[in-house]
Chains A and B, each alone.
Chain A
Amino acid sequence: MNQNILTTHVETSSDTGIRTEEMLLNVGPQHPSTHGVFRLVVKIDGETIKEAIPVMGYLHRGTEKLAENLTYTQIIPYTDRMDYVSGMTNNYVLCHAVETMMGLEIPERAQFLRLIAMELNRVASHLVWWGTFLLDLGAMGPFLYAFRDREKILDLFNELCGARMTFNYMRIGGVKWDAPPGWIEKTKEFVQYMKKELDSYHQLVTGNEIFLSRIEGIGKFDEKTALDYSLSGVMLRSTGVNWDLRKNEPYCIYDRFEFDVPTGTGGDCTTRYHLRMAEVVQSLRILEQALEQFPSEGEVLGKVPRVIRPPAGEAYVRIESPRGEIGCYISSTGKDKPWRLKFRRPSFTNLQILPKLLEGQSISNMIAILGSIDIVLGEVDC
C-alpha cells in the first residue's frame, strides 16, 4: 500500500467554522462491481475522489511460474482460467506463439473452427460486459437478457468441446474436436437470432436518457494518453485510433473476411459503450461469412510432432482479444517445456489508467468508469 494515501487531511473553514475531513473508502476485494477480486482504496473529499489506488493480486495463481514445469499442451487449460470470459482467444494466443516458433501449417478446417470459436467468444464476452455494466449502473433487466443469450453461445461451446467456459479446445496445430453434426447450422441460426436480439438491446438501453446521462462525458481521455498508457482494444479505439490486430496484423484467417473496425473519437464511457455494441455486429458479420464458407470436410489437427519442442529462441505474438491486445512471449531452450512464458494481459495493462481517470471525479462515477474499462480479474492477476 502506498503510505501517503493513508494520511487524510483535516481542515476547519475559517469562514464558517465547519470542520471537514478527507475520508478513505475501501472498495472490494469482495464487491460485485469490481467483477472479481479487485480492491480499490479511494481517498474522498466529500463526494470528490482525490486519489485512488488499485490493489490487486488476490487471484494471482502464478500461471507463468507453473507453466515452466508444464509441456505446451498442458499449459492450454491454464490459459482458459486467465481471461475466463474469453477463453478461446487465450487458447489461441498460446497456440499461435508455439506455432509461429515451429512454423506449423494449420489445416483449413481447424482455422475456420478456431475463428468461429473466437468470434462467438467475443460476442459472449461483450454480452457479459454489457449485462454487468448495466447492472453496475443499477439496471437489473439487461443483465438477464444478456446472460440468457450468452448461455446460448455457451451451449454451442458445450457441444463443441464439452465445457461452458474452461474450453481447453485448441491444440498446437489445430483444434481438439471437430464440430459435431448440425453444429454449424445451429450456429448459423444463433447468428440470425442474435442480430435480431441486438436491436431489442438497443431499444431497451441505448436510448435511455437516465443511462446516457450517467455515462456521457465521463472517464474521458485522448489519443496521446491512450498510447502513453499502452491501452488497447476498445479503450484505444474510443480515442480515434483505428487499430485492430485482426485487421492490421492479420492472424488466423481474418484477412479473408470483410468487417469494419468501429472507431470513435469521444474517448468517454459513451463512446466505449457504442463501440462494444458495434463490435458485436461486426463479429456476427464475420461469423456469417465464416459459417457460409466453412469447409465441408478436412483435418482439424495438423501434422505435429508427438512431443512439441519449439526451437531454441524467443518469440512474442499478439492478437486481438475482446479486451484488447493479448500477447504471449515464449523463451524456449528447445525442450518440451518453456523456459519462460509471459502473457501480456490487456486487462492488466488497461487498468493502469484507472487512477488517472478517477482523480477529481464524483464517487458515483467510479463504478461506471471501472465498468467501461472491461476488466477480468483472472487476467489482471494471472
Chain B
Amino acid sequence: MTEENRKPTPEEKAKAAAEAMAKARAAKEAKEAAAQAEASTPATESAPASKPVSEMTPEEKAAAKKAAAAEALAKAKAAKEAAEQGEEAGSDADAKAKAAAAAKAKAAAAAAAKAKAAREAAGQGGDEGGDDAKAKAAAAAKAKAAAAAAAKAKAAQASGEAGGEEETPKAPSKNQPYLDKYVARLTEAFGADVLEASYINELSKEVPTLVIQNERWHDVATFLKNDEQLAFDYLSDLHGVDYEDRLEVYYHFYSYKNQQSVAVKVKTGREQASVASVMDLWQGANWNERETFDLLGIHFPGHSDLRRILLPDDWVGYPLRKDYVQYDEEV
C-alpha cells in the first residue's frame, strides 16, 4: 500500500493541515527574521535595497545581490526544515497505518489457512490430505529458502561490485606496472605521504589514478610534467566535482612521449576551496580552471586571470555546487 493511493483518514488530514500551517509559519518567520536583519543593519548598508538597481554603484549592487542570495538561502533552509519535519510526522503515521494493515492481513491469512486446513481435512477425510498439505507446505518452505538464498547471493554480489576492486581477487591490470612506476617516482621524489591514494580505476578503462596532497600539488604537477620518465606533456581534461563533504579537482594527463595516461585528483574543503593553478605548466589549464572557478567556486592561486567565463561577472553563487540556490528566480 503506497502513500499516494491511500485515502487519508480525517485524523491524517488534520495532521497534514497542521503541518502545512507550521511550514507556512516557519517560512513567514524566516522572512521576518531576514527583514529584521536587513532593517537592523546600518542605514548606509541597507540603502541599496531601497534604491532602484539602475542607480546603484557596482559595490551596492553586489551587496544587494548578496543580501538577496542570503535571504533566498535562509528561506530555502526554513522550507527544507519544515518539509523534513512534516515528512517525519507523515512517515510516523504511515508506519502506524502500515503496521495495522499488516496485522490485519496476518490475521486474515491465519484465518484463511485454518479454514483451508479444516476444509481439506473435512473434504478428503483421510491422512492422505494431511500428507498432501504437509508436502505442499514443505515444498513451499523449500522454495522460499531457495529464493532467500538467491536473494542473499545477489545482494552479496551487488555489494561486492559496489565495494570496489579490493574485495574480489582479480588478475592485475595491464596498467599496474605504470601505476607502480608513477608511485615509485613520486615517492622517491616527495616521500610516501604526498600520495593520499593510488589505484587502478577499473571503471575508467583501467586508468592509473593518483590522489595527491593538496598542499604539495604544484610541486608534484611540475614533477609530473618535467620528469623524464613521466613526461605528462598534455592536459586532456580538468574539472571539479562537489562531493558535499569536499570538493575535488580531476585532471586527466597524457604523455605523448610514453603513450600513457594518468588521472589525478586533488581534494579541497568546501569553505575557501583552493587548489594550486597549473596554468604555468600547461597553458590549456587556463580556461578549464576559470570554468571550474565559475561553476564550482574553487580558487586556483597562481592563475593569472581567474574570473568567471561562462556566467556573467556579477553572478551570485556557484551553480554546480550541490547546495546552490538561485537568488533570482526569474533567470
| Closest-CB distance, A342 to chain B (whole angstroms) | 5
Of B239, B291, B305, the most chain A CB neighbours within 10 A belong to: B239
- Of the stretches A57-65, A114-122, A134-142, the one at the interface is A57-65
- Of the stretches A25-33, A188-196, A227-235, A271-279, the one at the interface is A227-235
Asked if B234 is at the interface (CB within 8 A of a chain A CB), the reply is yes
Residue in B closest to A318 when the chains form the complex, CB atoms? B236
| A2/B283 in contact, CB under 8 A | no
- Of the stretches B38-46, B131-139, B312-320, the one at the interface is B312-320
| Closest-CB distance, B267 to chain A (whole angstroms) | 14
Asked if A201 is at the interface (CB within 8 A of a chain B CB), the reply is no
Given A311-B162, A311-B203, A316-B263, the answer on whether A56 and B283 have CB atoms closer than 8 Å is no
| B237/A327 in contact, CB under 8 A | yes
Q: Which residues of A contact B313 (CB under 8 A)?
A: 1
| Closest-CB distance, A327 to chain B (whole angstroms) | 5
Give the interface SS of chain B, mostly helix, strand, loop or mixed.
mixed
Q: Which residues of A contact B49 (CB under 8 A)?
A: none
Select A228's contact among B284, B288, B307, B311, beta carbons within 8 Å: B284
Asked if B286 is at the interface (CB within 8 A of a chain A CB), the reply is yes
Chain A contacts with B in 268-292, Cβ cutoff 8 A: none
Asked if B183 is at the interface (CB within 8 A of a chain A CB), the reply is no
Residue in A closest to B242 when the chains form the complex, CB atoms? A340
| Closest-CB distance, B136 to chain A (whole angstroms) | 34
Asked if A325 is at the interface (CB within 8 A of a chain B CB), the reply is yes
Select B201's contact among A312, A314, A349, beta carbons within 8 Å: A314
| B234/A329 in contact, CB under 8 A | no
| B203/A327 in contact, CB under 8 A | no
Chain A contacts with B in 295-322, Cβ cutoff 8 A: 310-318
Give the interface SS of chain A, mostly helix, strand, loop or mixed.
mixed
| A329/B239 in contact, CB under 8 A | yes
Given A230-B234, A241-B256, A382-B310, the answer on whether A317 and B282 have CB atoms closer than 8 Å is no
Of A227, A230, A318, the most chain B CB neighbours within 10 A belong to: A230
Asked if B82 is at the interface (CB within 8 A of a chain A CB), the reply is no
Asked if A8 is at the interface (CB within 8 A of a chain B CB), the reply is no
| B236/A56 in contact, CB under 8 A | no
| B309/A349 in contact, CB under 8 A | no
| Closest-CB distance, A309 to chain B (whole angstroms) | 11
Asked if A20 is at the interface (CB within 8 A of a chain B CB), the reply is no
User: CA separation between A205 and B80, bound complex, in Å?
Assistant: 64
Asked if B7 is at the interface (CB within 8 A of a chain A CB), the reply is no
| Closest-CB distance, A248 to chain B (whole angstroms) | 8
Residue in A closest to B241 when the chains form the complex, CB atoms? A340
User: CA separation between A349 and B312, bound complex, in Å?
Assistant: 20
| B311/A60 in contact, CB under 8 A | yes
| Closest-CB distance, A51 to chain B (whole angstroms) | 12
Interface string of B192-205 (1 = CB under 8 A from A): 00000000011111
User: CA separation between A230 and B236, bound complex, in Å?
Assistant: 6
| A227/B241 in contact, CB under 8 A | no
| Closest-CB distance, B225 to chain A (whole angstroms) | 10
Asked if B161 is at the interface (CB within 8 A of a chain A CB), the reply is yes
Asked if B250 is at the interface (CB within 8 A of a chain A CB), the reply is yes
Asked if B235 is at the interface (CB within 8 A of a chain A CB), the reply is yes
Select B204's contact among A230, A314, A352, beta carbons within 8 Å: A314
Q: Which residues of A contact B320 (CB under 8 A)?
A: 64-65, 340
Listed A/B pairs (14) with beta-carbon separation below 8 Å:
A57-B311, A65-B320, A100-B203, A101-B203, A228-B284, A310-B203, A314-B201, A316-B237, A327-B236, A339-B243, A340-B242, A342-B241, A349-B287, A382-B310
Given contacts A348-B287, A352-B286, 7 further A-B contacts (CB under 8 A): A228-B282, A243-B256, A313-B201, A327-B237, A329-B237, A329-B252, A342-B237
What 10 A-B pairs are tightest by C-beta distance, nearest first? Answer: A230-B284, A315-B204, A57-B310, A344-B237, A60-B310, A313-B203, A342-B239, A340-B241, A315-B203, A228-B283
